[in-house]
Chain A
Amino acid sequence: MTIDWSWISAHTDDLTTLTLSHLQAALTAVALGLLVSLPLAVVAHRIPRLRGFLLGASNVLFTIPSIAIFVLLLPVSGLTRTTTVTGLTVYTLVVLLRNTVEGLDSVPVKVKEAAKAMGTRPLRTLLTVEFPLALPVIMAGVRIATVMSISLVSVATYIGDGGLGQLFTDGFQRDFPTPVIAGVVLTLLLAVVADAALVAVQYALTPWTRRRA
């Protein structure tokens, strides 16, 4: 199996476009996943009865093959980016919800009581005390969800989207390894870069965790 370098140099524009489209799908899904998970996590954290239900539901969704979710969304949103992003969002939930709940659980009761004693309102406590303290655990979830989404986007090639995944079906149909190799390598690179960027974001967002010296 050889790499046809001339194909790669002739397709740098296409590869860039596909990489960006791939990244956009993955990041949008994680962002939407957070948007859904954060409030649900608060509910699960506060209301023990719903906790099992919500976490269980996200776990069951995780066991459904991603390709099936994409196909089952076709009657709703057709062959669009929306279908891809919605399907991916479903998959981010299991990690994001679980981690956010655990993050909120990890906030010491004493800290919350102190905030209450100082007369801070519950919503304010949530936003200014609980979420920031839960951030390291939430960010760990965001990192896993992001890497997972980046790897999953390519499945959407079966419904005509899929970013770099289009290189896989193309190479498959034509018995042509070069696009496939390019797609795999770029997906891995994307995952590594995105993960490093998230580490940097976390570092910037949580200055208190490094004031140890």
Chain B
Amino acid sequence: MNRRTVLGGLFAVASVPALSACAGGITSLNGSGSTAGGAGSSKGGVTIGTANFTENQVLGYLYAAALQGAGVKTTVRPNLGTREIVIPALRGGDIDLLPEYQGALLNYLAPKVTATESGEMQNALTQALPAGLQVLPYGMAEDSDAFVVTRETARKYGLTSLADLKKQNGHLVIGAAPEVKKRQVGAVGLKDVYGVEFKEFKSLDSDGPLVKGALKKGDVDVANLFTTDTDIRANDWVVLTDPEHLIPSQHIVPLIADRKADDTVRKALARLGNLLTTAQLTELNRQVDKDKKDPEDVANAYARQHGLVR
């Protein structure tokens, strides 16, 4: 082929009409699983989506194991992206079920609501959810956002709580996943509630290698991690306390499309929720991150061990 001319007409047109022209067209190749309307039924199988961090994959596969134990067919779609991406996908019918976190989900749906107690939050969630979605009873296990500094940084600036960060306004760099820049439990809330302003917000990842690496190297002073991450203790990092309760305590809660929420699904997920403790979940996360075990294997082993599947 002659590549001499590949770029020939490059600037012949503006990109705008060309861009919009490509968006339509092709119809669905794989058929969406949405069968809206009527009472929910899990007969056709349930597609579980998960967000882009370890624990959410573990939870997704735990949900799958619990549902399979109850005879429901499941598909897991791991690592789809952030809450901002997966919830629209749930509404659009690409997925049916998501492992969610009470406080963070409530903040996403209704940033102004101030419920902090778990039962209250559950009610607020039910009210805030768009039609077609519902939360099932929340589980025992909890995992919250944490703003973490190294022991050294804590000493240097005298940091023990989020309120202390204000003393260093304009000096500290925070590292977190990009979405945290726009979230209440994130740059927005830290400013509103504690008056904290950072020198820079570094877009990294959700409790992943980038944010932890940056904290270790000193590229960021404050890192957004999750309380169920064993690395916090392993590295002797300091979790800043939250006297103003910016960070809601949050139990893990299944968010499901009405069309799939039947009794079988409810019972199976409630059973898992009443079983799984925070300590157990933390250990499962560790097995995936440190022992390099598959989230699916880890979840299945847990389900077998606790009699969720035979």
Determine direct contact between A and B, CB below 8 Å: yes
Give A contacts to B, CB under 8 Å: 4, 7, 11, 28, 32, 51-53, 55-61, 63-64, 72-74, 76-82, 85-86, 89-90, 94-95, 98-99, 102, 137, 140-141, 144, 157-160, 166, 169-170, 172-176, 178
Q: CA separation between A86 and B86, bound complex, in Å? A: 20
Interface size class of B (residues with CB under 8 A): 35 or more
Interface of B is mostly: loop
Judge whether A55 and B12 touch: CB under 8 Å: yes
Of the candidates A60, A74, A173, A176, the one whose C-beta lies within 8 Å of that of B15 is A60
Q: CA separation between A169 and B288, bound complex, in Å? A: 14
Residues of B contacting A144 in the complex (Cβ-Cβ under 8 angstroms): 1
Judge whether B1 and A140 touch: CB under 8 Å: yes
Judge whether A56 and B9 touch: CB under 8 Å: yes
Residues of chain B in range 1-26 having any CB-CB distance to chain A below 8 Å: 1-2, 5-15, 17-19, 21-26
Judge whether B29 and A79 touch: CB under 8 Å: no
Interface of A is mostly: helix
Residues of B contacting A176 in the complex (Cβ-Cβ under 8 angstroms): 292
* Residue B235, interface by CB 8 Å: no
Q: CA separation between A168 and B49, bound complex, in Å? A: 19
Of the candidates B8, B19, B22, B289, the one whose C-beta lies within 8 Å of that of A174 is B289
* Contact (A74, B85) CB under 8 Å given A59-B7, A80-B32: yes
Of the candidates A98, A159, A170, A178, the one whose C-beta lies within 8 Å of that of B80 is A159
Give B contacts to A, CB under 8 Å: 1-2, 5-15, 17-19, 21-30, 32, 49, 52-54, 77-81, 85-86, 88-89, 92-95, 205, 208-209, 288-289, 292, 294
Residues of B contacting A80 in the complex (Cβ-Cβ under 8 angstroms): 28-30, 32, 94
Could you list 6 examples of A-B contacts with CB < 8 Å?
Answer: A55-B8, A72-B23, A79-B86, A81-B30, A166-B78, A173-B208
Judge whether B208 and A82 touch: CB under 8 Å: no
Judge whether A59 and B289 touch: CB under 8 Å: no
Judge whether A57 and B13 touch: CB under 8 Å: yes
CB distance from B28 to the nearest CB of A (A): 5
Judge whether A99 and B1 touch: CB under 8 Å: yes
